[in-house]
Amino acid sequence: MAGFSRWFFAEYENSDYLTRRKASLVFIFALAVIVLLNTGVILSFIFISIERGVGFLQSAIPASIFCLIAMYYLKKGRLEVASNVFVIFCSLVVFFGLFTKAAHVGYVTMVYFMFATMIFASAFSTRVVASLIYGTYIVGLFAFYFLHAHEVEGKLAEALKIGLIDSAAALTLSYIVVMMTINTFNKFIESQNIEKNKTIHQIEVMKNLHAIIEDISNKMISISELISDKLKDFLQNIQDQASAVEEITASTQEVSNGFGNVNQNVNKQYNALKKLFDTINALAQEIDLLKSQSVQISQAFESIRTITKKGEDAIRIVNENAKTLLDSSGKLTSIMNILQDIFDKIQLLALNASIEAARAGEAGRGFAVVADEVNKLSEQSVMSLKEINVNIQSNIHSVETSNTGVATIVNLFQDIVTTLNAVSAGMQDIFKHIDNQEKIKEEIQTQVAGSQTLSEQIAEETNRHNEIITEISNSIASINTLIQNNMAVAEDISETSQNLSNMGKDLLLKVKEEV
């Protein structure tokens, strides 16, 4: 049975719940009419008479054909056509059945079935079809009256006139209720489709934002790794500088120790100074390289700030969309409450119809069955509304859970911004030290140039040479101090860069969990 259902209703697989439910009910009603009518034919032949069976068969054949046509259109996915065919067929049966009744029973038998078909039209047809059915019934009521008015007298004539007025008034009232019900259904379906499209759009936007955040996290991790690599080179350069400074210090010490015996060690002093000059030039190149790498690190941090700003904007959009989705779900809940009230009224109308059918006795038994089916349909619709309401509450809970994740991501971004500010402050200190190194380098280069000239005149300018050596020693000590400071700051930046990389990985993991 489940396999047949999937095959028959394959065209409605991607439709909403109400459409699938309407298709299922139309199929059940059409199948029930075919089975009941043909069962009636068989029972008439067996238990009543051949003439009654033939008469029943003449009605069952066109009815079965109409139901099969409705089922054909239903299988093709044309639910509206199938519903209209079935409703129109039922209405025609009731319409022509009215004229087969006697004058004194016409308004107390088939009129009840008119109410049932009107209610059926409110659930499955359009306003145009319902209006045509209403107009046909009104014309039929007046035609029935004028056909039989001259046949009866006295109380029967008065009952015929009262039946016409009451039936027309009741049908008009039913028509108004049907129009309101159809209009409410149409507005609900339209609102549901709009909210569905909004939800799909918001989900797509949230998926895109998740992809953007994931891309930002990957870029943040890549940039952090790049910074880490640059800092490794930076630390290596600083260590090379420290080695060079140690060599310079050793050379300067040798020059100072040998200065007392200048005449005997002049060649040795000259060679030591030459080595000193080469080392200072190498140190100057290392300082230039350090400055170039510092510029690259500054650009990398600027990229991180830009990416972080995009991440904050993306999270803000996610939060706004989540709030919009919550508002939409609240509106949809209000609509569901209105629908539940309408179905309660339909149940009350079906109950009243059942009471009237009971009063009619045997003639109203068929109408009582239809009224009971309408009541069941209303109860099923109320249950469906409750299921939809549960799904809406589940969506609201999911959005609130997503908001919690978004809040966590926002806090994580704030931590990243704080870390970036700390890193930026550290970088500013490094840049200041690098600028000081640049100035000291230029000063040393100037002094070295002077020392090279003075070394050739060392005999005549011993005192001045001693002062220059002293200044060089002081400058080297300053450089050594700056190098030690740079090493400490670089290690802090390396640790901060690693923390930033870990934060990026945590953010990426959090985004994947949210997805």
CA angle 292, 301, 403 (to 5 degrees): 170
Average pLDDT for 304-309: 76
Does residue 271 belong to any structural domain of this protein?
yes
CB contact at 8 A, 8 and 27: yes
Average pLDDT for 64-84: 87
- Residue 304's pLDDT band, with cuts at 50, 70 and 90, is confident
Average pLDDT for 157-168: 82
> Do residue 213 and residue 81 come from a single domain?
no
Most confident of 168-182, 246-260, 294-308, 389-403: 168-182
Structure tokens at 71: 């089922």
Domain that holds residue 294: 208-333+395-514
Average pLDDT for 412-435: 74
CATH number at residue 295: 1.10.287
pLDDT of residue 103: 65
Asked if pLDDT for residue 262 goes beyond 60, the answer is: no
Does residue 374 belong to any structural domain of this protein?
no
Comparing C-alpha atoms, which of 411, 415, 413, 420 is closest to residue 223?
A: 420
> Do residue 140 and residue 245 come from a single domain?
no
Give whole-number Cα distances, 7 to 68, 77, 245, 431, in Å. 17, 12, 86, 74
Task: Count structural domains, the chain.
Answer: 2
Tell me the pTM.
0.40
> Do residue 248 and residue 131 come from a single domain?
no
Average pLDDT for 34-61: 83
Average pLDDT for 94-121: 74
Does residue 288 belong to any structural domain of this protein?
yes
> Do residue 406 and residue 282 come from a single domain?
yes
> Do residue 443 and residue 321 come from a single domain?
yes
CA pair distance 145, 165, nearest whole angstrom: 10
pLDDT of residue 479: 74
CB contact at 8 A, 412 and 510: yes
Does residue 444 belong to any structural domain of this protein?
yes
Average pLDDT for 331-346: 76
With DSSP H G I counted as helix, E B as strand and the rest as coil, what are the percentages for the chain, rounded to 5? 95, 0, 5
> Do residue 510 and residue 413 come from a single domain?
yes
Within 10 angstroms of residue 71's Cβ, the number of other Cβ atoms is 19
> Do residue 438 and residue 310 come from a single domain?
yes
Comparing C-alpha atoms, which of 415, 199, 432, 392 is closest to residue 298?
A: 432
> Do residue 295 and residue 402 come from a single domain?
yes
> Do residue 228 and residue 86 come from a single domain?
no
Residue pLDDT, tens place only, 459-472: 577 667 767 767 77
Does residue 8 belong to any structural domain of this protein?
no
Average pLDDT for 447-459: 71
Residue pLDDT, tens place only, 121-142: 877 778 888 888 888 889 888 8
**Minimum mean pLDDT range among 7-16, 227-236, 362-371:** 362-371
pLDDT of residue 266: 60
> Do residue 121 and residue 226 come from a single domain?
no
> Do residue 104 and residue 243 come from a single domain?
no
Q: Which residue has the higher pLDDT, 223 or 27?
A: 27
pLDDT of residue 12: 84
CA pair distance 463, 469, nearest whole angstrom: 10
Does residue 346 belong to any structural domain of this protein?
no
Within 10 angstroms of residue 239's Cβ, the number of other Cβ atoms is 12
Residue pLDDT, tens place only, 224-256: 777 777 767 777 777 777 777 677 777 777 766
- Residue 404's pLDDT band, with cuts at 50, 70 and 90, is confident
CA pair distance 234, 223, nearest whole angstrom: 16
CA pair distance 172, 60, nearest whole angstrom: 30
- Residue 265's pLDDT band, with cuts at 50, 70 and 90, is low
Give whole-number Cα distances, 211 to 104, 203, 214, 314, 405, in Å. 75, 12, 5, 10, 15
Does residue 121 belong to any structural domain of this protein?
yes
Average per-residue pLDDT in the chain? Answer: 77
pLDDT of residue 105: 65
Average pLDDT for 390-399: 78
Give whole-number Cα distances, 465 to 473, 497, 509, in Å. 12, 46, 64
Does residue 126 belong to any structural domain of this protein?
yes
pLDDT of residue 495: 78
> Do residue 122 and residue 215 come from a single domain?
no
Asked if pLDDT for residue 106 goes beyond 70, the answer is: no
Residue pLDDT, tens place only, 169-215: 888 988 888 888 888 877 877 787 787 677 777 778 777 777 777 77
